[in-house]
Structure 1
Amino acid sequence: MIEKVNCKVEVVLDTTQPKGILGENLTQSQLSNITTILETIQKNHSFEIEYFSPDYLKEAKHLSKLHFGKPYGETHCFRGYPLLGSIRQFHKDDSDYVLHFDSDMLFHEAEGFSWIESGIELMEEHDDIVCVLPRGGPPTSNDYLFQGTTDYRIDKRRGIYLFKNFTSRHYLVHRKRFLELLPMKPIWLSWREPIKSILLGNGKMLCWETIVEYAINKSRYWRADLMTNQAWSLHPADRSGNFYKLLPKIVESINNDKFPDAQRGHFDLRLQDWESFLA
């Protein structure tokens, strides 16, 4: 997928010890083990490895001031997801677009098609789009998406779903339009947290994607998910042992555009349905 487009690829490792719900509930790996795995993969694929420590106070406060208008001391949200690690790529390089994937994301992309190139073309043609994603989950017969309480519109003329929300798991962002949204308003877990931030530097800020979503809601911009069946994404919420056992087969099936019918229209991977499908 990345090899179809000409872009600089970096794998960024946040070297701080995970905290919050993510640090407590997810299995953690040693940094040295992750580095060894990445260096092995690097022998066959071209990418750079970058280590980022937001505990370096001067850089942290500089990034925070650029993004939020004030030099806050918080480096991660209350769940443990990186705040500054999410922010810095928009200020580090002077690129037209920023492409990001969390390391657990799964994608299908048809041979001869690039959703990234299609996303760039869309944003070049339409100035109301700030970011583009492939559709969430394999296609349904009526183009319906199972989005829970998240509202979306269907723009059939342009072949896209329009959202006012944002996900930090994967995105292709028009960098200049995104920077127009700055400074963004920090959103806190409660009214006490900004006070704790001022006094102690450890207030509980909501996750970065919530902050970006608030900014997009207040703007004229939209997130656009491509309606084409040639690319779609899945997020594996279930990290059980059986998921890791089935992961190679799941990846192979996704690459071949094979999946359980019950997965259609769902962004979150439905492990029980995959267990039956692969049995």
Structure 2
Amino acid sequence: MNADLAPVQTALQINMHPFDAPHVTHTLPHQIRVWENQVDRILLTVDTGQVNAGRYKGQGFDAAKARLFAFMESLRIKHPKLHIDTVDYGAEAHRKLGQLFFSRAPHYPDKAFDGGPFYVYFYGLMRANARYVLHMDSDMLFGGASQTWISEAIAQLEAQPNALVVCPFSGPPKDGGDMSLSLHVGMPGVKHILRAEKLQLDSPAWRFPTVSTRIFMIDMQRFTDRIGSLDLLRPDLKRRIRSYAFNQKPISMPAEEALSTNMIARDLYRLDYMGTGQGMYSLHPPYRSPQFYAALPSLIKRIEAGNIPESQRGDFDINSSMVDWSSAIAAKSRSKRYLKALKHLISANIERFSRK
């Protein structure tokens, strides 16, 4: 059982899964270098639940799990702020999480309608036990690396009472603090999304009505005061049918869409903030491929050194100017995606009917 952690002011909380091990061995030391001196706690939230069918099924789970935990333990010896937490799906943990995030909902799901993570995001925020929780996925990378970003971000939250979350700038900014807004597409389940607005602050900043579960820092006290209980976002008919077909439960759209919908309903927003000096921006690798894993160590060095091509500026996803994505893109062709979906559909229904 995970031990309770004492309340702190600031915490870095990182979600990961055993199958993240190939990149975590490179990204986690980078994330610690960037953030360790700015937070009171670092919490690694590991989802060790296995999926037997569908798109989140994988082979070699036990070996990946052993590799990940051995690596995390080696880091914990060197970093006293670091804590390792496994996701608890038990009844008591469900009850506590429900009280904190879903007190008005009769029930809430472990997984989103498509089998993607849902419960784990809120579990990590709960377990971090901090006023300000900087949440991120395990593959996030950071440039600028300002060592005052969190204190500046908290000051921005205090100055803007309708900001629920603040994020490092979405990708290295263009000249004048601009970004490529065409890349910030909407969310399938979220309607009436207002256009992002550039703010006149002491450094590049934009206001967005939605938030991604990849990266955000949330004011938990403001969440309690302004939202209190999240309303789930029910999938539409098409997605409910697809969910049933893949042996999932269509209770809610993904966590980021549910959170964004609740923010919009209460006139809350996300602030993308660069910060002073070198500031802080995030980058996200959109694919996984042998080329990516081979390039990852040098990619991190380039980002930390600020060696960013002009064509990467304004883009929050690492693009082909920094990594050769040709093989990964080829694997995402329409025919291959359909074949993969068919295999997942078959395995999901074999799993369903084998229980009967």
Q: How does 1:51-130 map to 2 (within 5 A)?
A: 51-54=86-89, 56-64=90-98, 66-68=100-102, 69-72=104-107, 74-92=109-127, 94-110=129-145, 113-130=147-164
**Which shows bigger deviation, 75-84 or 30-39?**
75-84
% same residue: 22
What secondary structure is seen at the aligned counterpart in 1 of 2:46?
A: strand
The answer to whether the aligner puts 1:181 opposite 2:214 as a matched pair is no
Per the TM alignment, residue 75 of structure 1 is displaced from its structure 2 partner at its CA by 0.3
Q: How does 1:163-242 map to 2 (within 5 A)?
A: 163-179=208-224, 180-191=226-237, 193=240, 202-228=249-275, 230-242=279-291
Per the TM alignment, residue 53 of structure 1 is displaced from its structure 2 partner at its CA by 3.1
For the 8 Å contact 2:206–2:273, the answer to whether it is kept is yes
1:7 to 36, 40, 44: 40
Aligned to 1:248: 297
**Which shows bigger deviation, 68-77 or 44-53?**
68-77
For the 8 Å contact 1:16–1:53, the answer to whether it is kept is no
- Give the distance between the partners of 2:95 and 2:164, measured in 1 at CA: 26
Structure number with the higher helix fraction is: 2
Aligned to 1:131: 165
Cα deviation code 1:127-184 (max 9, x no counterpart): 2211111111112014321233353101114542101001111111111111231321
What secondary structure is seen at the aligned counterpart in 2 of 1:107?
A: strand
Per the TM alignment, residue 190 of structure 1 is displaced from its structure 2 partner at its CA by 2.6
- Give the distance between the partners of 1:110 and 1:92, measured in 2 at CA: 26
The answer to whether the aligner puts 1:23 opposite 2:23 as a matched pair is no
For the 8 Å contact 2:112–2:249, the answer to whether it is kept is no
For the 8 Å contact 1:161–1:227, the answer to whether it is kept is no
Aligned to 2:312: 263
**Which shows bigger deviation, 80-89 or 60-69?**
60-69
For the 8 Å contact 2:197–2:208, the answer to whether it is kept is yes
Aligned to 1:32: 66
Query: Structure 1 regions of 5+ residues with no counterpart?
Result: none
Alignment TM-score, normalising by the size of structure 2? 0.68
Question: What amino acid sits opposite 2:144 in the alignment?
Answer: E
- Give the distance between the partners of 2:199 and 2:47, measured in 1 at CA: 38
The answer to whether the aligner puts 1:152 opposite 2:196 as a matched pair is yes
For the 8 Å contact 1:109–1:115, the answer to whether it is kept is no
**Which shows bigger deviation, 172-181 or 227-236?**
227-236
What secondary structure is seen at the aligned counterpart in 1 of 2:236?
A: coil
**TM-align CA RMSD:** 2.9
Aligned to 1:44: 78
Per the TM alignment, residue 73 of structure 1 is displaced from its structure 2 partner at its CA by 5.2
Alignment TM-score, normalising by the size of structure 1? 0.85
- Give the distance between the partners of 2:53 and 2:134, measured in 1 at CA: 26
For the 8 Å contact 2:164–2:270, the answer to whether it is kept is yes
- Give the distance between the partners of 2:208 and 2:55, measured in 1 at CA: 26
What secondary structure is seen at the aligned counterpart in 2 of 1:75?
A: coil
For the 8 Å contact 1:72–1:201, the answer to whether it is kept is no
